[in-house]
Amino acid sequence: MQIILHDDFVTGCQVLEHQHMRSVKSGGFVGDTASQRSRPATPDQTWTRVFPAHADQIRHARKVVALALEGFPAADDAVLCISELATNSILHSDSKKADGTFTVYAERHEGDYVWIEVADNGGLWDKHAHNDDHPHGLGIVGELASDWGIDGDPLTGWTVWARFDWPASNPPAGI
């Protein structure tokens, strides 16, 4: 089921009909795409939203994903990763150019896993070295997600995705 969010807590955002942004291309890099190939074709629910690539839109992207993943045990981890990925798109891709955008996508496979993505406007990524011992951006995504990867290229845009497995429910002791 496609859910299109028509709320006005995010101003200046274009809501898209679902387009399957994921496509494994030869030349893609980072991450294992095995989970991508073995996913069920139809998620229980999907959300897609395009945001202007401005720093003030990161909080709105977090809010959209938090609402979409309400009740998912690792929702906080997925929301943190959306924040990191959206920030990366604004800082390191062509999304930072005038009229740039980033697209947030979420799939919910109830009881199985959650899939999130952020797509940017492409370009060569501006890589910044960090001289501290703290994880940043993709390092955080790699620590929290069950699986993740990057698809795309500088011309058509980059999509960074992350999968979060739904934790198995533990029956009460003694049953």
pLDDT tens for 50-66 read 999 999 999 999 999 99
pTM: 0.70
Alpha-carbon span 129 to 137, nearest angstrom = 12
Is residue 79 one of the residues assigned to a domain? Answer: yes
Q: Looking at residue 94, which CATH number applies to its domain?
A: 3.30.565.10
Is residue 7 one of the residues assigned to a domain? Answer: no
Q: What does the pLDDT look like over 85-142, one tens digit per residue?
A: 999 999 888 899 999 999 999 999 999 999 999 999 998 866 666 566 555 678 788 8
Is residue 173 one of the residues assigned to a domain? Answer: no
Q: What does the pLDDT look like over 141-166, one tens digit per residue?
A: 888 899 999 999 899 999 999 999 98
* Number of domains the chain is built from: 1
Asked if 12 contacts 61 with a C-beta cutoff of 8 angstroms, the reply is no
